[in-house]
Amino acid sequence: MIFDENGKPLANAMVGLYAIGEDSLLLRSAPDYFTKSDKEGNFTLSFIKPNDYYLLAFEDSDNNRVFDNEKDNLAFSGTPISISAQKDSLAAKPLILIASKHKKPASYLGDIQKHNNYQWQIPIVNAENFHNFSTNKQNDRIKLYLNEQKDSLNIWFKDTINEDFKIILQSDNQLFDTTEIVYKTIKKEFNDSLYVVHKEISEGRVGFLDYFKNFVLFANQPIGKINGEKVLLMQDSILATFDKLYITKDNPQKLMLDYAWQANKTYTLILLPEALYAWRNNTTALDSLQIFEWKTYAEEEYGVLYINVNSNYVNNNWRFILSNNRATQKIDTLITQSEMKINRLKPGKYSLFLYNDRNNNQKRDIGNWWEKKPAETLYFYDKEIQILANWETEVPIPLFTPNEPTKE
């Protein structure tokens, strides 16, 4: 059976068996045996010559029976399939294939985008696969880190430099890509002022936030120092003592405020001038007052969901993803018991997925043909779930179709 990356059956997909050979040539040729999937994503291949094969399925957009790297979604079996003379048909056991984009990058690092002499950016492909971004120089005048969207590397310079250097991209001990950086000044003005923003709260307007989530601010440039004496927090107009305001390790433009937030309260965060100092120039400070005001939702404004699943999913690397249709709330969690309780859900309509987290990285991998990593098995609950405020909803799910997971 074949599904798209949203868990829905993929109809009319080209399904083919390829005798094992050179991988890059394989995708440029037609399959040795092929068929099309039906409207339910089912397929059958019969009368197959004994051999070892790769099983692939893709959307044959131009009907030439050849995978198009730029257009077609691709699904494939995790391991080669062996056909013997005693078993000349591949239909007895359903195979779950998840189709997703498998475009091979010519380079993981793109062309440098120069915003000004101090702020550069490099687009990056598949950033989640890499654990180390570094330069070949131990230079405290350079900041290198992944942006919040995880699609670019940010490079900041303390001042203009007169030397070339190299960006190194690694995963564990494997080198994936490098790019040579030739520093040249450009004619673009740099605004040295420093300020911060919140993604959901605008200054001068009262926002609404969940009390159980972190309070995060983003600066327009890397922060070098925080003066805690110039940071004030009010709870219901009373001065509160917060734990700390700090710069996160993975992003020097990201600030987090630690405090025991409570439901149904009004908060005001006041950043006085000189509360923050820039990393690039430690004399550049916040030069004006910034105020953020918000209210936290009351407990009765949330709903509760109970998900009842088959015991085969419990403590067996199975996780579920619950997300609302407005994309403002998403929960991805391990299934640890047959009845899972999810508290504090905002009212609205939700979708539910279940997937097998084979590598325990706590996210669903869509697969990569070039690294021979198939997409992780996904089951899609085909009913919309309605969450109401101050109400408990129960979703009984005896088994996800089309297959039951089984413990090995």
- Spatial distance between the Cα atoms of 301 and 294, rounded to a whole number of angstroms: 16
- The pLDDT score that the predictor gives to residue 8 is 72
Output the CATH code of domain 196-297. Answer: 2.60.40.3710
* Residue 195, token pair as written in the block: 């300020």
In whole angstroms, give the CA distance from residue 305 to residue 385.
Answer: 9
Q: What distance in Å separates the CA atoms of residue 369 and residue 77, rounded to the nearest whole number?
A: 10
Neighbours of 256 (CB within 10 A): 13
CATH architecture for segment(s) 2-101: Sandwich (2.60)
**Structure-token match 């327009």, residue found:** 220
Cβ proximity of 157 and 116 under 8 Å: no
Confidence category of residue 407, pLDDT binned at 50, 70, 90: very low
Give the domain ranges of the chain. Answer: 2-101, 113-181, 196-297, 301-396
Tens digit of each residue's pLDDT (9 = 90 or more) over 85-105: 665 455 444 455 655 555 555
How, if at all, do strands 348-356 and 378-387 pair? Answer: antiparallel
Q: How many residues does the chain have?
A: 408
Q: H-helix or E-strand containing 24?
A: helix 23-26
Confidence of residue 71 (pLDDT cuts 50, 70, 90): low
- pLDDT above 70 covers what percent of the chain? 81
Q: Kindly state the greatest CA–CA separation across the chain.
A: 80
Which structure tokens are listed for 334?
């391990």
Give 45 or 292, the one with higher predicted confidence.
292
DSSP state of 7: S
Nearest 5 degrees, angle CA 357-CA 328-CA 326?
105
Asked if the domains 2-101 and 196-297 are classified in one and the same CATH topology, the answer is yes
> What pLDDT shows up at residue 114?
83
Helices and strands, counts by H and E, the chain: 1, 34
165-184 mean pLDDT = 69
CATH, domain range 301-396: 2.60.40
Task: Tell me if 199 sits within 8 A of 215, measured CB to CB.
Answer: no
Mean pLDDT of 151-160: 84
Tokens encoding 66: 């050849």
The pair phi, psi for residue 257, each rounded to 5°, is -110, 115
